[in-house]
Amino acid sequence: MRIITLIISISLAALLPLKAQFTPQSKVPPPMTEQFASQVRGYQQIIDTYHSTAEKIIRTAKQDNLCYDRLAEMCDTYGHRLSGSESLEKALDWIIEQLKKDGLDVTSEKVMVPHWVRGTESATLVSPRVKKLAMLGLGGSIGTPAEGITAEVLVVKSFDDLKAHASEAKGKIVLFNVPFTTYGETVQYRVNGCNEASRVGAVASLVRSVTPVSLSTPHTGMLRYNDSLTKIPHAAITVEDAELLQRMQKRGVKTMITLKMEAKTLEDSPSRNIIAEIKGSEKPEEIVVFGGHIDSWDVGQGAMDDGGGVFVAWNALRIIKKLDLKPKRTMRLVFWTNEENGLKGGTQYALNHKNELANHVLAIESDAGTFKPRGFEVKGSERSKVLATAISSLLNPIAADLIVDGDGGADIGPILETGVPGMELIVDDAKYFWYHHTDADTMDKLNPDELNLCSAAMAIMTFVAADFPIRFPK
């Protein structure tokens, strides 16, 4: 029971802050001290024994475009993969078939997941003129009455700005028009805006989409209601429309919006984590676990978030199998379900495998995009960063040898809380948030060569960690 409570509290903590931290584009490694560098050199002899294997992995990764082709086939055939949807479960069935074709051992583990449905929705500026506003309800939001909510809009620029205008908010629709700084900072308005707006008597809330760049694309994502406050509908509109409403308010023009949302939360629904393995040849009980999440939002195709992430992890394991490499420890690939609106997959995995967690030597997540790989974020001790840095030298030929401090990832969060070192694949993420949680998260944004390079980076890091003569240090 204690473990259950612990893991649940971890999962809530992990849900956003962990994802929120990542801004790898701006990350540079901390300056290497002479002591750190000499410890890295201490591994050189062992690392040298992996050079030819690493080269083989890179060559094999570049041989075909199966990773891209499979991801495209899944995305095009089944569509989005929101938790609770039939399309997610059909995609999972298809993945299991393909994994068996790769000759991998496959199991699946039941996970109960939230089942939120968007329904029909719209936002219309009704005064001083009529204009349809592109919008997306936020995941977990309640709906509006059938006739919608029509109210005057109060535009604010921050939570402090809302406080300063609290007396004007009652009965209005509050719009948070907050420019993107970092995901971690700006996403707070998407997650908590409904609560702060409710606190001052608003009847609904809107948020400017969390993105640095917009082509009139609204971005969805998770909200988190504070149960002690009245729940109000919460939706995202585009940067363009948020700015329009801001300018009108500045000119003293009153604006009115009609918001209609059918959103509702149904009973929890069964889904699955899929697990595929290559058993260790010498220490099968010791596990390097890696993967990404297979669920997505109900817009676009979830090609980037996180289809690409989990498919490069899959392709990494396929490459190791194809090359008939036999790691000393078990390499375990997990397709975690329900990361986006519940983190139930990551939480359930840690519960189901709690007796094995002490033997999880490393956990690696790939959920920060699959553009050109740059390296890995590491969450762990100095000693774990030393070995990660040593292994990463094998990724130098594909310029993916960057090692920076990190916070792990959402799905591996519950594993990392038990002291297991963690990593996240980092990529050139300059465009990541342009498409994140939108209708534009589609296959055409990805590139087969970049997926292959990400696969090679994942394959080398996971295989060498699994095969290394020394257990990955905590």
Question: Minimum distance from CB of 391 to Zn ion (Å)?
Answer: 25
Where does this chain touch Zn ion (CB under 5 A) — which range of 277-285, 299-307, 415-423, 445-453? 299-307
**Residue in 288, 393, 365 with CA at minimum distance from that of residue 331:** 288
Give 121's strand partners: 261
Query: Total number of residues binding Zn ion (CB under 5 A)?
Result: 3
Stretch 352-371 residues interacting with Zn ion (CB under 5 A): 367
Question: Minimum distance from CB of 345 to Zn ion (Å)?
Answer: 12
Question: Minimum distance from CB of 328 to Zn ion (Å)?
Answer: 31
Going from the C-alpha of 425 to that of each of 16, 52, 230, 279, 460, the distances in angstroms are: 18, 22, 39, 23, 12
Looking at the Cβ atoms of 16 and 125, the one nearer to Zn ion is 16
Q: Are 224 and 250 in contact (CB under 8 A)?
A: no
- Asked whether position 286 contacts Zn ion by CB under 5 A, the answer is no
Looking at the Cβ atoms of 148 and 292, the one nearer to Zn ion is 292
Cα–Cα distance for residue pair 462/317, rounded to 1 Å: 9
Tokens of 448: 């087969």
Looking at the Cβ atoms of 401 and 450, the one nearer to Zn ion is 450
Active-site residue (options: 339, 365, 417, 424): 339
CA angle centred on 87, ends 187 and 451, rounded to 5°: 65
Residue nearest Zn ion by beta-carbon distance: 306
DSSP 210: S
Give 133's strand partners: 123
Task: Candidates 121, 196, 305, 401: give the one binding Zn ion (CB under 5 A).
Answer: 305
Question: Minimum distance from CB of 161 to Zn ion (Å)?
Answer: 30
Stretch 193-252 residues interacting with Zn ion (CB under 5 A): none
Is 109 noted as a catalytic residue in this protein?
Answer: no
Tokens of 245: 């409403």
- Asked whether position 298 contacts Zn ion by CB under 5 A, the answer is no
Q: CB within 8 A of 35, min separation 6: which ones?
A: none
Cα–Cα distance for residue pair 174/170, rounded to 1 Å: 9
Question: Minimum distance from CB of 49 to Zn ion (Å)?
Answer: 35
Q: How far is CA 320 from the centre of its chain?
A: 25
Looking at the Cβ atoms of 68 and 336, the one nearer to Zn ion is 336
Looking at the Cβ atoms of 306 and 401, the one nearer to Zn ion is 306
For residue 79, count other CB atoms closer than 10 A to its CB.
Answer: 19
* 147 CB-contact burial (10 Å; exposed 0-12 / middle 13-18 / buried 19+): exposed
Looking at the Cβ atoms of 306 and 377, the one nearer to Zn ion is 306
Question: Minimum distance from CB of 274 to Zn ion (Å)?
Answer: 16
Where does this chain touch Zn ion (CB under 5 A) — which range of 57-65, 103-111, 119-127, 300-308? 300-308
Looking at the Cβ atoms of 143 and 369, the one nearer to Zn ion is 369
Question: Minimum distance from CB of 266 to Zn ion (Å)?
Answer: 23
Question: Minimum distance from CB of 15 to Zn ion (Å)?
Answer: 12
Give 345's strand partners: none
List Cβ<8 Å contacts ≥24 apart for 431-436. 431/371, 432/304, 432/368, 432/369, 432/371, 433/180, 433/183, 433/210, 433/211, 433/212, 433/213, 434/211, 434/212, 434/213, 435/300, 435/304, 435/305, 436/210, 436/211, 436/219, 436/221, 436/304, 436/305
- Asked whether position 306 contacts Zn ion by CB under 5 A, the answer is yes
Looking at the Cβ atoms of 242 and 303, the one nearer to Zn ion is 303
Q: In the complex, which residues of this chain contact Zn ion (CB under 5 A)?
A: 305-306, 367
| Positions marked active-site | 339
